[in-house]
Structures are given as C-alpha cells and as structure tokens.
Amino acid sequence: MDSFNTKAVHGEKVPGTIKSKITPIYQTSVFTFDSLEDMEAHYNGDGSYLYTRCGNPNSDELAAVTARLEGAPSGVAASSGLGAIMAAILAVAKNGDHIVAAHDVYGGTFYMLKEELARMGIQASFVDFEDQAAIQAAIRPETVILYTESIANPFLRVEDLNAMSTLAKKNNLVFMVDNTFATPYLVKPFELGADLVVHSATKYIGGHSDVSAGVVVGKEEYIAEAQKRVINIGLNLSPFESWLACRGAKTLGLRMERQSSNAKKVADWLSTQEKVKEVFYPKAVSEKGNGAIVTIHLADQADESAFFRSLGWIQIVPSLAGVETSVSWPFGTSHRSLTAEEKAAVGVSEKTVRISIGIEEAEDIIAQLEGALNKA
C-alpha cells in the first residue's frame, strides 16, 4: 500500500466486534471495565481506553493516519494546531530552555513562542532562516529546538528542510516543522530529517472548515512525551472532531491536487493585473504541485476595503484550506498580535491579502477576483 491516496483511504481501524465499514464515533467520556482487575490491567499497560482525555479510538485513528501519510512511526492528536505545537514543544523544552524559530512563522505561533512560552521560562529567538549564519549565531548552549514551517505563512517561503535538518543535527537540536500548508501530499518533513512534524488539521487534513484539530507526529520518544502533555494539560481532541478530520483525510490527495492546480492558474493570472503589486506563490515545492495558497500585495492605489467588499461568493475568513475559495487579511487576523515593527519585518501590511484557493473551476475564481480588483 504505497500510493498516497490508497494510504489515505485505507487506514487501520480500531478493532471491534461490529464490522462497520467506517470507524464509529466513540462519543463517550469514559470506557467501562468488567472488574477491578480489568481496570488495574489498564494501568499496567494491558488495557486500551480509560477516559477520553487520555485517549479515544477516534483521536488515535486521526493520529495514525497522519503519521502514516507523513511516513512517521507515531503521532498524537490535539485540540487545535496550536495545541499540537504546544504539546510538541513541551515534549522537548522546559524552563530555562531556548528555541530558535523562523521569523516568518504563523502569527499565532509567533505570539505563543514569544509570550506564552516565555511565561513558562522558555525563550525564543526569531531569525531569518534564509541566513544560516544568523541561525548559527542565535543558537545558545540552552537551545533545544530549531522550529520552522515547510511553507511559511503568509508569504509562502519554501524552507530548505534538508539544510535545516543538517544544521539541527550539527547542533544536537530537535528539528520541528509545521507542515500545514504543504501537507504530506506535497512534502514529508519527517522523511527529510525532521524529528517532529505538526499540523493544524483544521486546515487541509480536515479540509471542510468544520473542525478545529491538531496533530503532531514524529519519533516515538518525543510523541510519548507529547502525549503526556496532551493528557495532563487537557489538550485532547473530541471524538466527533477526530472523526470529521479522519473523514476529511481520505480525500486530502484529491483536494490538494485540484486546489494546487487552481492556485497556479490564479497566481499566473494575478501576476498580470495592474491592481496587484506583488504575487507570492511557491515554486518547486513538489512535482505534485506547489500548494493552494496565493498571497498578494494590492497596488498602492488600490482600496483594500473595496476589494474585500466586492468578492461575491468568495468569503472573507480568518482561516484557510476549505474546499471553497476564501480570502483573509493577515494584518488584522493571523498577524494581528504582532507589533507594527514585527509586521513590517515580515512584510505584512494593510495591502496584504492571503487567498485560499478551493476546488471550484479556476475560471470562476478568477472572475470573482477580477470583479473585486475592478472595484478596488
């Protein structure tokens, strides 16, 4: 079972006496035992499930399918992408440790690293990851993690994962990669040397804008620690949302193929428009495509408010990756918590528009964008 789509569709189901085609939703807070000895066996490692915060067949299935698609041995699901990132970081870092992160990570991640982890005594430095000398200079004796994104949000810089993996190993660091934008359909960071790979499964793994979920996969020793953090901090994912994300994962390859193809057409068209100052779309991500996000800077003379008001059926949202094309305004959403100086450093301005391309006909998406640009 080597092909991506076959792996996505045919995963290991939780064993049961009822032979259902699809794993049922185990919508229960607790699991029962036949005796005190049966319960004790669970704590001795011979049982399966106890309490949904500590594990559930549906969340385990989501972790397993994501790990399988990434080529990793193990995984654990969490309540959101940020929850997965937190669990993964705390599997490695403790009070007094330090993280070196790419300066152009997702705004929510930036804030969590800068503010929330600092409250726990874990410091972070943000560096331009296109400058390996700067990365090396930022590494301290207490540094434990090198953190980046396979495709950065929102300007879609493609990370050199081989180079970063080599640098991490040279400095005995855990290499951690957020693979949300690329998905394992396009890039498998674990196979390129990452120790931990995180996903906001809210995005492409779920794929239908109806779930909030996260997954971290990677080396078994780190996942075992991440699972403890999920349990002890209460970062677990509900059974129903796990089930929805598993359902979405089955069509991940099909959706990414279509959405990436559409994105390339839209990016090419946008590059010809006078109301568009700059187009950001990756190149050479994978032979399968370059992802489904296109980011633009509107021209200086364009009215961004008029553009957003005139998008027709393209909806304005703070997120991405559904089957419907949508747009977001990073300045006021994903990167809202950054200071003016921090926004300027990564290039986010009021003219920045992130477009999440859906599965509609590319020509119809272009027609909607053209109408909005004409009004801008």
Active site residues: 53, 106, 178, 203
- Element housing 297 (H / E): strand 293-298
Q: Where would I find the beta strands (DSSP E) of 150-269?
A: 174-178, 196-200, 214-218
Alpha carbon distances (Å) from 38 to 18, 45, 50, 51: 22, 11, 11, 14
**Residue of 253, 243, 232 whose CA lies nearest to 51:** 232
Under 8 Å CB-to-CB from 40, ≥6 apart: which residues?
A: none
Sign for the pseudo-dihedral over CA of 311, 203, 335, 132: negative
Query: How many residues belong to the chain?
Result: 376
Buried b (16+ CB within 10 A) or exposed e, 56-68: bbbbbbbbbbbbb
Structure token pair of residue 371: 């109408």
The half-sphere exposure of 368 on its side-chain side, counting CA atoms within 13 A, is: 21
- The overall longest dimension of the chain from CA atoms, in Å, is 74
Residue 41 burial (10 A CB sphere; 0-12, 13-18, 19+) = middle
CA angle 171, 93, 170 (to 5 degrees): 10
Cα 344 to chain centroid distance, Å, stands at: 24
Query: Quick check: 150 and 286 in contact, CB under 8 A?
Result: no
